Amino acid sequence: MLTLTRVLTIVGLIAISSSCASIVSKTKYPVTIDTEPRDAKVTIYDRRGREVFTGTTPALATLKSGAGFFTSAIYEIQISKEGFASKSVSLRATLNGWYLGNFLFGGLIGLLIVDPATGAMFKLKQTAVIEKLESTAKTAAAPTHQLRIYNINDIPESWKKNLVAIK
């Protein structure tokens, strides 16, 4: 009986320490895409130029963080709407901090095989793309006033300089 307990303990420790990022993190991330004005066409291409998502804003796309063995995902988001200039936004997965946990726990299998193969060694930090489309019309129509509420972490840096604190 003692031998079975030891075997199960060893197997459990190997499983836990063999792939830190795969256990703690995820490999697919939801990315919100929104535009001003709304109802713009969104097409997302992966690093090989394959279309992985198409829709209209506001949209929610689930994107993988890995693109193959030891390869991070890179996405090109094309946004277009009739009467407005098209935009292109790049989205890149970065190294996941949990992947480094394999060094601490001695998980060589997780470090060299599991996390790189599953894509868990990478993560998508940017989970929202919000773009303002510029009109191509010579005379712009009267602006429509709308109230939209955004999380401060989901707005572009260029918008933050116009924020006003409400007390």
Q: Tell me the per-residue pLDDT of 85-97, one tens digit each, with 9 for 90 and over.
A: 999 999 999 878 7
CA dihedral 135, 137, 143, 149 (to 10 degrees): -10
161 pLDDT tier (thresholds 50, 70, 90): confident
Tell me what pLDDT residue 80 has: 96
Question: Is the distance from CB of 15 to CB of 31 less than 8 angstroms?
Answer: no
Q: Whole-angstrom Cα distance, residue 146 to residue 54?
A: 26
Tell me what pLDDT residue 143 has: 65
44 pLDDT tier (thresholds 50, 70, 90): very high
What are the structural domains, with CATH classification, of the chain? 2-137+146-156 (2.60.40.10)
The two tokens of residue 112 are 């060299």
148/53: higher pLDDT = 53
Q: Tell me the per-residue pLDDT of 117-145, one tens digit each, with 9 for 90 and over.
A: 777 788 898 889 999 999 987 655 566 77
Residue 106 has pLDDT above 70, yes or no: no
48/145: higher pLDDT = 48
